[in-house]
Structure formats: structure tokens, C-alpha cells
Amino acid sequence: MKEIAIFRVGAIFPVMEELAIPQQPPPVEWRVEPGLTDYAAAVAAMERRVAAIREGRLPELVWLVEHPPLYTAGTSADPADLLQPDRFPVYRSGRGGEFTYHGPGQRVVYVMLDLKRRGPDVRRFVQNLEEWIIRALAAFAVEGERREGRVGIWVARRDGLDAAREDKIAAIGVRVRHWVTYHGLAINVAPELEHFSGIVPCGISAHGVTSLVDLGLPVGLPDLDAALRAGFPGVFGATAWVESEAAERRSA
């Protein structure tokens, strides 16, 4: 736990005595949005929330949503990787990364944290997101793994004849403004995996995609949400959760 220190001067001897005072865990709002959330509205809401966090008007936010079918293009997206441009709406996104798919059955988690206070290290933040996903998957006995040069979390498929097969189960794409993060991650719970065929997911054609249900697990979004919430403090530190009083809001 981080600590701040105050000092008092001895009345007789000029001795500095350090008194350690524990710092309160940072308040973080946890919001699960019902229904399907429009992508453009979500981005606008994140941008407003980032400004509010930076100005100290609102706490940090972990926002869990589900989108209608769509493709998003990150800042490194190759136009050639959009194989079916007319299949679903395509949104240019300011996040890092390439093309990805969002749709029903996929949990998208928008993570708005203040790195100026938590530590201005974007690489460590991305590593923490990876670790958070890995721990959540472990709650379902799924071994999520990192791969050098490939952002996201992967699952080695050892249930078939091709022992070398690896499928992606979670994607990560973030943006940082004035040291406040936004965008975040997407974990496949039970999306229609065929919808990924309209793009080259994250610019990687040599590997496939999978989901918790595809792996044979009878898991729903609430199950994953519970695992994510339980694992957050172990990765990001002690947290004072602030429950959203208006989860139906479309603005952050």
C-alpha cells in the first residue's frame, strides 16, 4: 500500500519523527451497461469522462459494455485487412492497434484510469491489462497466454491434431490523453466467431479466434464480469468501488 509521510519536530531534541499514514484506495466506478451500446456514443462518453477524471470532477471508471456488430480500425490498421467493408459499420478509432470486431456476446471493457497518479508508464498499464485478462480466464480454468510481438491474449488449442494451433480470445487497444487511459480490451465470451471473417483480426492471418463458449464452457457475460471485478485489485491495487447509480446512462 502506498503511504504518505508527515513529520513532527521533537520538543526537546531536533529529531524528525516519521509518522506513516496509509493512503485511502482510489475510488473507481464499476459500471455494467445494459443492452447494446452504440459505438460512437461510447467513444464520446469516454472522451467526456477522461476530461472529468483529469479535472478531478469524477472518479476513474471501468465501463463494461456490449456493442452491436461492427468493425473498428485502430491507428495502425491496414486498409487491406478490411476484407468485407460493406458487411458491418466500420469506425475509425483513436486507439492503438489494427482492425477488430465487436458484437453481441463479447465483453468490451473500457478502462479509464489516471496514470499520472498511478504511475506514468503506458507499457506497464498494457501489461497489467494482459495480466487482468489472464487472471479472469484462469477463473474458468482457461490458460491465457502472452505472445511476443502479438498484443492480446492467446489460447493454445491442444484438443485437436494440430498441436501448434493458437487462437486469440482477447484483444487490447488503448489510448492515453493527458495520462488518463481510455478504450481498453475485449474478451470473447460467446460472439458469432464467423463475424471475424470480414477482417484480418489485429492484422494477424496465421491464427484464429476463439471464445469461452467455443472452448466448451457454459459461461455468460455476468460470469466473466464477476471474475474481472474480483481480479482487478490484485493487478491494479486496492480499490474502493463506487457503484454506478445510473447504469442505464449513455454518457460517462
Place of cell 471485478: 229
Please list, in sequence order, all residues whose beta carbon lies within 8 angstroms of the beta carbon of residue 180, skipping any fewer than 6 positions away. 50, 53, 54, 112, 113, 114, 115, 116
Active-site residue among 109, 202, 219, 227?
Answer: 202
The amino acid at residue 217 is: L
Please state, in angstroms and rounded to a whole number, the distance separating the CA atoms of residues 221 and 239.
22
Known catalytic membership, residue 206: no
C-alpha–C-alpha distance, residues 252 and 245, integer Å = 12
Q: Which amino acid is at 135?
A: R
- Rounded CA-CA distance 101/171 in Å is 10
Give the residue numbers marked as catalytic. Answer: 202
